[in-house]
Chains A and B, each alone.
Chain A
Amino acid sequence: MDWDKFKVHGEPLIYGAMASIVLATIGIIVGLTYFKKWGYLWREWLTTVDHKRIGIMYILAALLMLFRGGVDAMMMKLQTAAPDMKFLDSQHYNEVFTTHGLIMILFMAMPFIIGLMNVIVPLQIGARDVAFPRLNAVSFWLFFFGAMLLNISFVIGGSPDAGWSAYFPLASIEFSPTVGNNYYSLALQISGIGTLLTGVNFIVTILKMRAPGMKLMKMPMFTWSVLITNVIIVFAFPVLTVALALMMFDRLFGSQFFTMANGGMDMLWANLFWVWGHPEVYIVVLPAFGIYSEIIATFSKKNLYGYTSMVFSMLIISLLSFLVWAHHFYTMGQGVMVNSFFSITTMAIAVPTGVKIFNWLFTLRKGRITFTTPMLYTLAFIPIFTIGGVTGVMLAMASADYQYHNTMFLVAHFHYVLIPGAVFAVIAGFHYWFPKVFGFRLNERLGKHAFWWIIISFNVAFFPLFILGLMGMTRRQYTYSADTGFGPLSMLSFVGAVGLMIGFVILVYNIYWSTRYEPRDTDGDPWDARTLEWATKSPIPAYNFAVVPTVKTRDAFWTSKMDKVPLFEDKITKIHMPSNTGKPFILGVIFFVAGFSLVFSLWIPAIISGVGILIVLAAMSFDRDHGFYIPVEEVIATEKKLRGETV
């Protein structure tokens, strides 16, 4: 065997990273053994099928990936902070922007959002769990091990280096001979299957498991956004599945899909990638819109303005999102008619998006606004996202795009959309729903500190990139000479990035601080909020609701508080629960081994793990465990305890 393939050479940074990974792993193993936590970890987390715990694991993984993607970003910013820096060489820079983009979108933004929807959606619709709790665990572990597979690439064999969009022929075996892009195809494939299953699961959950009385048009806006997002997932992810499979065939088995000879067609990749890729950005942005809608309504003490138009604008956005993909390559020679078509569809998206912005503004109007941390992020989102949107319309004009294409202007644009449109939203949602899950709030003073650091630094980091782009600085450029004049603004942008990092450190510190010192909340509704998730206790009992609520209006919890109508009319009965299972975790591990073996073309382990996957699936099929019941007395006792009464 050729051991050289596994090694990554020559970079002190990488040796440092290897050492820290090994040390961290040893630390975790020793720690778990010392505190005798293995059993706890296995019983309570690795085998759990509880949507809340799965959601928490998604969010933890996403925070970890935010750190990893952030380190990548800082390395790039340092490398370009001044002319002719020698911190990263070109190959390393290529790998870093590729993994940064992939990780931020696929392994940070999306799982963070999926995590929040796991925790919140069943509660918002008054359900006890998702439709298929075990499938949900499968989704999580496939996502998790896919992410891990991509993450080990930089120490074993080398990371993908052809950009997050992996255009051919650059990403072909000929021009990217390392295993990096094998990792790309397999890691994304594994986590992509997980995401697709999430899509199926949540569509069924939302359409079939709503509390009695909750008509579609009475659903909370976050649930609506999640429903539409999951429809996009179900139709967009199969395209990615195919694209990645073809990529794998080209790289591992010598097929001719994207090659330059023998009838291959490199542009086919670009098309397939973006047919998935553009809807993907809406997969992360639409739930963010949902989160903001909840927060604005709660902290303005008003119901959401223009509910119906909100829903319809999301539906229109989801349709249009499939019709704009070619705007990513106006300059790649597809002719005037095609470019005009995609130009128009792209600009059309601005209309429903504008409708949403105005609805939020009208909700705020004459509202009794409280400036909590989640609300601050929401208020900052509106203008910043609008800058991103307006520059998006500039880029949408095909003829003008010949000027902006692949410059820092574009990089500035998509960070101006993605960071307020996804990152601020998940941070806002995190602060907003944190007390629901853990029973205490994050400290407001620290939260606001972090907020100001993040908002100001974000603009300092990214606004200069618009100007740099217009000056002609291209993206993915690892260095430049002093006489280009890019130096000063690049340095300013670096300073902003450092500020962002400080903001995130304060945010994480706040979690630690609040865990120790924040007062515990007892009634489950710390923000005086409107939707059903606040109607149960915090922390949420395993069965969510002792009695399934009956819904009569939108914002059901709010009307029940205002008009004193009871939400819970039925008597407590025994509650059916699914039992935990280790099979999804095992399935994830085997998928990881299978993926790793394929990356290095180790056929025998790949075949063995393929058989292993089939065996686990068969075991799941033959499993006759139909769950268990929580008896009435236990439910009553739990409820009393959560209310602070002694049992």
Chain B
Amino acid sequence: MKIDASKPLEYSTEENSNKIFGFWVFLGAEIALFATLFTVYFVMVDRFASGPSGPDLFEIGPVMIETLLLLSSSFTIGLAVHAMRHGYQKAMMVFFGLTLLMGLGFLGIEIMEFVTYVHEGATLQTSGFLSSLFVLLGTHGAHVSFGFLWGAAILIQLKRQGITPATANKSFIFSLYWHFLDVVWIFIFSFVYLKGLM
């Protein structure tokens, strides 16, 4: 393996930089995926039949907390990558761990939200609107859950192996993924919740 010292560690081998580029391409596909889900949601948003509509259902409180948690976690994963570039393994792992914890907090609140909705009689089966809402939020939530497991696996490898070209590369790619989920959430926050509350 040829290591190019002029580049950041995560880009230092050809394989590494290919992986990062490949992940960007994959994110292109993810954008197409969420764009489709958003389209479905916008088509369905007024088709709530006899069930509750967005304004009946949404509450700003929990959603704000979710947003804060996810935005801050995007910040901490940025800090983790920054620490990684300086070779501070401890700091990196702390920021990384914080990111995952906040992700977990986000998931907890989202699940509580879902439970509340269901108690209010808003289920996946109720209406076209609710089906599309649950699938859009659920797909994002499933991505966060997967991200949690993936991040945990990387954290273990960081602990065992330290900051190497391989672990740096994985962590960097993970940070891209995490930022992406944040961006998707911002769209959900603006166009599902804020717009739905208006």
B36, A239: Cβ atoms closer than 8 Å? yes
Nearest residue (CB) in A for B128 is A263
Q: Is B184's CB within 8 Å of the partner chain A? A: no
What is the bound-complex CA distance between A263 and B49, given in angstroms? 5
Q: Is B33's CB within 8 Å of the partner chain A? A: yes
Known: A204-B25, A614-B149. A238 touches B124 (CB 8 A): no
Least distance between B147 CB and chain A CB atoms (Å): 13
What is the bound-complex CA distance between A204 and B130, given in angstroms? 38
Nearest residue (CB) in A for B134 is A255
Known: A263-B128, A622-B157. A235 touches B32 (CB 8 A): yes
A208, B32: Cβ atoms closer than 8 Å? no
Q: Is A557's CB within 8 Å of the partner chain B? A: no
Task: Tell which of B1, B49, B50 touches A576, judged by Cβ atoms closer than 8 Å.
Answer: B1
A132, B125: Cβ atoms closer than 8 Å? no
Least distance between A322 CB and chain B CB atoms (Å): 10
A residues 197-244 with Cβ under 8 Å of B? 199-201, 203-204, 207-209, 234-239, 241-243
Task: Tell which of B48, B49, B131, B150 touches A255, judged by Cβ atoms closer than 8 Å.
Answer: B131
A234, B29: Cβ atoms closer than 8 Å? yes
B124, A242: Cβ atoms closer than 8 Å? no
A234, B131: Cβ atoms closer than 8 Å? no
B36, A262: Cβ atoms closer than 8 Å? no
Q: Is B175's CB within 8 Å of the partner chain A? A: no
B40, A263: Cβ atoms closer than 8 Å? no
What is the bound-complex CA distance between A237 and B47, given in angstroms? 27
A254 CB contacts on chain B under 8 angstroms: 124-125
Q: Is B135's CB within 8 Å of the partner chain A? A: yes
B125, A263: Cβ atoms closer than 8 Å? no
Which one of B22, B49, B130, B166 has the greatest number of beta carbons of chain A within 10 Å?
B22
Known: A132-B22, A238-B36, A618-B153. A265 touches B47 (CB 8 A): yes
A268, B25: Cβ atoms closer than 8 Å? no
A131, B18: Cβ atoms closer than 8 Å? yes
A201 CB contacts on chain B under 8 angstroms: 22
A235 CB contacts on chain B under 8 angstroms: 28-29, 32
Least distance between B165 CB and chain A CB atoms (Å): 10
B67 CB contacts on chain A under 8 angstroms: none
Least distance between A542 CB and chain B CB atoms (Å): 18
Q: Is B37's CB within 8 Å of the partner chain A? A: yes
What is the bound-complex CA distance between A200 and B32, given in angstroms? 13
Q: Is B43's CB within 8 Å of the partner chain A? A: yes
A-B contacts, CB under 8 A, total: 118
Task: Tell which of B22, B40, B51, B166 touches A246, judged by Cβ atoms closer than 8 Å.
Answer: B40
B22, A249: Cβ atoms closer than 8 Å? no
Q: Is A285's CB within 8 Å of the partner chain B? A: no
Least distance between A594 CB and chain B CB atoms (Å): 15
What is the bound-complex CA distance between A621 and B40, given in angstroms? 34
B18, A256: Cβ atoms closer than 8 Å? no
Q: Is B110's CB within 8 Å of the partner chain A? A: no
B40, A238: Cβ atoms closer than 8 Å? no
Task: Tell which of B26, B28, B32, B134 touches A239, judged by Cβ atoms closer than 8 Å.
Answer: B32
B124, A255: Cβ atoms closer than 8 Å? yes
Q: Is A562's CB within 8 Å of the partner chain B? A: no
Least distance between B98 CB and chain A CB atoms (Å): 21
Known: A241-B33, A242-B40, A621-B153. A208 touches B126 (CB 8 A): no
B157, A234: Cβ atoms closer than 8 Å? no
Least distance between A629 CB and chain B CB atoms (Å): 10
Q: Is B127's CB within 8 Å of the partner chain A? A: yes
A614 CB contacts on chain B under 8 angstroms: 149
What is the bound-complex CA distance between A339 and B130, given in angstroms? 31
Least distance between B37 CB and chain A CB atoms (Å): 6
B126, A256: Cβ atoms closer than 8 Å? yes
What is the bound-complex CA distance between A368 and B150, given in angstroms? 58
Task: Tell which of B32, B49, B128, B166 touches A257, judged by Cβ atoms closer than 8 Å.
Answer: B128
Which one of A208, A209, A253, A255 has the greatest number of beta carbons of chain B within 10 Å?
A255
What is the bound-complex CA distance between A193 and B32, given in angstroms? 14
Which one of A196, A200, A624 has the greatest number of beta carbons of chain B within 10 Å?
A200
Q: Is A261's CB within 8 Å of the partner chain B? A: yes
A residues 254-282 with Cβ under 8 Å of B? 254-257, 259, 261-265, 268, 272, 275
A208, B28: Cβ atoms closer than 8 Å? no
A residues 36-59 with Cβ under 8 Å of B? none
What is the bound-complex CA distance between A241 and B30, given in angstroms? 11
What is the bound-complex CA distance between A265 and B170, given in angstroms? 42
B49 CB contacts on chain A under 8 angstroms: 256, 261-263
What is the bound-complex CA distance between A200 and B131, given in angstroms? 30
B residues 29-86 with Cβ under 8 Å of A? 29-30, 32-33, 36-37, 40, 43-44, 47-51
What is the bound-complex CA distance between A225 and B81, given in angstroms? 38
Q: Is A571's CB within 8 Å of the partner chain B? A: no
B193 CB contacts on chain A under 8 angstroms: none
B29, A200: Cβ atoms closer than 8 Å? yes
Nearest residue (CB) in B for A578 is B15
A242 CB contacts on chain B under 8 angstroms: 33, 36-37, 40
Least distance between B10 CB and chain A CB atoms (Å): 16
B48, A263: Cβ atoms closer than 8 Å? yes
What is the bound-complex CA distance between A236 and B26, given in angstroms? 13
Nearest residue (CB) in A for B13 is A626
Least distance between B46 CB and chain A CB atoms (Å): 8
B99 CB contacts on chain A under 8 angstroms: none
A275 CB contacts on chain B under 8 angstroms: 36
Nearest residue (CB) in A for B156 is A622
Q: Is B187's CB within 8 Å of the partner chain A? A: no
Q: Is A319's CB within 8 Å of the partner chain B? A: no
Q: Is A245's CB within 8 Å of the partner chain B? A: yes
What is the bound-complex CA distance between A257 and B29, given in angstroms? 23
Nearest residue (CB) in B for A245 is B135
Which one of A207, A236, A238 has the greatest number of beta carbons of chain B within 10 Å?
A238
Least distance between B194 CB and chain A CB atoms (Å): 22
A255, B25: Cβ atoms closer than 8 Å? no
Nearest residue (CB) in B for A618 is B153
Least distance between B135 CB and chain A CB atoms (Å): 6
B48 CB contacts on chain A under 8 angstroms: 263
Nearest residue (CB) in B for A230 is B25
Q: Is B178's CB within 8 Å of the partner chain A? A: no
B44 CB contacts on chain A under 8 angstroms: 257, 263, 265, 268
Lowest 8 A-B CB distances belong to which pairs? A263-B47, A263-B128, A238-B33, A255-B131, A238-B32, A263-B49, A242-B36, A263-B127
Subset of 26 A-B contacts with CB under 8 Å: A131-B22, A132-B22, A200-B26, A201-B22, A203-B25, A207-B21, A208-B17, A235-B29, A235-B32, A239-B36, A245-B135, A246-B40, A254-B125, A255-B124, A255-B134, A256-B126, A256-B128, A261-B49, A262-B49, A262-B127, A263-B47, A263-B49, A263-B128, A264-B47, A272-B36, A621-B153
Additional A-B contact list (20), CB under 8 Å, known A255-B125, A257-B132, A621-B157: A131-B22, A203-B22, A204-B22, A208-B14, A235-B29, A243-B36, A249-B131, A253-B124, A254-B124, A254-B125, A256-B131, A257-B44, A262-B50, A262-B126, A263-B48, A272-B36, A576-B1, A618-B153, A621-B154, A626-B1
Interface residues of B (CB under 8 A from A): 1, 14, 17-19, 21-22, 25-26, 28-30, 32-33, 36-37, 40, 43-44, 47-51, 124-132, 134-135, 149-150, 153-154, 157, 166, 170
